Amino acid sequence: MTPVTSLALRTDLSLLTRSGSTVEDYGTHLVVRTPDNPTYYWGNFLALRSLPFPGGAREVMAACDAEFPTSRHRAITFDLTGSVDAGEFVAAGMTASDTVAMSATSLVPPARPNAEVELRPFASDEDWEQRVALALAVHEGSASHEAFTRGRVAAERALEAQGLGQRWGAFLDGRLVSTAALFTLEDGLARYQSVETLPDVRRQGLAGSLVHRLGEHGLAQPGVRRLVIVADADQDPARLYTALGFAESERVTELLQVL
């Protein structure tokens, strides 16, 4: 496969392929599939290596439909290291958003650490069940979202079985209130996945304490030199990660349409 330029996309693909997804390289674009979790938007998508020519957005969307004929979504991203003008796609019905890839070689302790929380790796099936319940609470999930979440859990447990990393939780009196995962990749990179906190306990220093503790654990592992985390651009999580010592590496435009 032709080398991938975007740090966010490269680390995404590394995790996806290690947990069972496939990537087909057509030169101008990549087709990513996750057969075990077809409702996973960013497990079933196109990655374009450049913007289409003017007037080409609908052709790209049609190509997405042809690759995923039974899908209830279209998801398209770019192997570029800056946000792009996605106006044609938006005019055709897609929603554009920018994500920011951030990295750090060392971390700064959180300004307001939570001293009451227990921070530890998942150690039981019950921990993983709490992870599903937390995701449903965060995203107001339906039955279809539960199926998606359980598919993601299966993929993460497959990564853990390969010795690539762990999902950790922040627990208050045994209740999972915040969670994040970190997995080791090639080239000395370790990538965070799905940092989530229950809505009723936010702004208590939980996510900051967890991301910092997990990152320190990751940087202590042999060969890990740089941490990578991805967040919605210019939102509270990105500002939190900046305070912990992460610096922006790139911005990437993502396009999504639920059918």
The H or E element that residue 19 is part of is: none
Q: Give the chain's domain count.
A: 2
Question: 40 with 144: CB under 8 angstroms?
Answer: no
Q: Which residues constitute the domain of residue 41?
A: 7-99
d(CA 216, CA 95) in angstroms, rounded, equals 36
pLDDT digits (tens, 9 = 90+) for 149-168: 999 999 999 999 999 999 99
Same domain, 126 and 220: yes
* pLDDT given at position 165: 97
* Inside any domain, residue 68: yes
* pLDDT given at position 11: 97
* Inside any domain, residue 252: no
* pLDDT given at position 140: 75
Same domain, 93 and 122: no
* Inside any domain, residue 126: yes
* pLDDT given at position 142: 64
Same domain, 63 and 137: no
Same domain, 135 and 165: yes
* pLDDT given at position 114: 93
Same domain, 129 and 166: yes
* Inside any domain, residue 17: yes
Same domain, 188 and 94: no
83 phi and psi angles, rounded to 5 deg: -65, 155
* pLDDT given at position 40: 94
* Helix, coil or strand: residue 46: strand
Q: CA torsion sign, 109 to 208 to 13 to 100?
A: negative
The confidence band for 145, taking pLDDT boundaries of 50, 70 and 90, is confident
Question: 188 with 226: CB under 8 angstroms?
Answer: yes
pTM over 0.85: yes
Same domain, 11 and 75: yes
Question: 37 with 148: CB under 8 angstroms?
Answer: yes
